[in-house]
Amino acid sequence: MAKKQKYYVVWQGRRPGIYTDWETCKAQVVGVQGAQYKSFDTMAEAESALRMPYSSVVASTARAAASAGTPSVLFVDENGMTALRPGTENPPVLDALAVDAACSGNPGVMEYQGVYIPTRTRVFHYKHPKGTNNIGEFLALVHGLSYLKKHGLNQLIYTDSVNAMSWVRQRQCKSKLPVDAATADLWDYVHRAENWLKQNTFTTEIRKWDTDHWGEIPADFGRK
């Protein structure tokens, strides 16, 4: 089966515009601080998106995903804080850290972040030009554990990756991503994360984010 055509919009990169293949798009955004880009299924969608601010497109995509799937049980109240929708059964704990990863391609540009749920504040972020989503999820979880321990915080951590939870329990990243010139520094970072797990104890509770009932995890990058 032929691979479905994608159209890539770059709002902020070396040369903003629309690209019809990922490799050309990647050359515009890899290594660019604050790069803004997203893929679309049709050229018409891409052209329409390019005329809009990136933030508006991401927000619109998130709203569409919510209406098509599971709407979020979280919302921002009049004080700018995250709140639960009334009547939510078995709700998530709000005083917690949420982590998530995103990857454009597999492997491809990978990034992860940690977000404090009550304020939606990003507390850490990492990006690498070549990685996988599974590696990002693992690193995000370890980064979250080390962040909470370093700052003496007792919040729990939410992740939507069962795989990352398993790797953390085993103190090992079991990715099959080859080690080469483009991934050597990433693997060095992974090994440092594994060593941290082996050399440190922690009491932080790790919980699975219930996407089916709560919507996307607060640390989601909104690029579905």
CB 82 within 8 A of CB 115: no
DSSP 8-class letter at 180: S
Q: What is the mean pLDDT of residues 114-135?
A: 94
Q: Structure tokens of 166?
A: 């398993």
pLDDT band at 66 (very low <50, low <70, confident <90, very high): low
Counting residues of the chain whose pLDDT is more than 70, the rounded percentage is 92
Q: In what order do the strands lie in the sheet with 17-19?
A: 17-19, 7-12, 36-40
pLDDT exceeds cutoff 60 at 81: yes
Average of per-residue pLDDT values in the chain = 89
Query: Which one is predicted more confidently, 28 or 142?
Result: 142
* Interval 58-79 mean pLDDT: 68
Contact, 142 vs 172, CB < 8 A? no
Q: What is the pLDDT of residue 127?
A: 94
- What pLDDT score was predicted for residue 5? 85
Model pLDDT for residues 156-211, shown as the tens digit of each residue:
999 999 999 999 999 999 999 999 999 999 999 999 999 999 999 999 999 999 99
Range 25-32 average pLDDT: 84
- The pLDDT of residue 1: 44
For 69-116, the DSSP string reads: S---SEEE-TTS-EEEPTT-SSPPPSSEEEEEEEEEETTEEEEEEEEE
Least confident of 26-35, 68-77, 101-110, 112-121: 68-77
> Residue 34: pLDDT above 90?
no
More confident residue, 154 or 66: 154
Number of Cβ within a 10 Å radius of residue 23? 10
Q: What integer pLDDT is reported at residue 155 of this predicted model?
A: 95
Q: What is the mean pLDDT of residues 54-69?
A: 63
The 10s digit of each residue's pLDDT in 147-166 is 999 999 999 999 999 999 99
Q: Is the pLDDT of residue 2 over 60?
A: no
Instruction: Give pTM, 2 decimals.
Output: 0.71
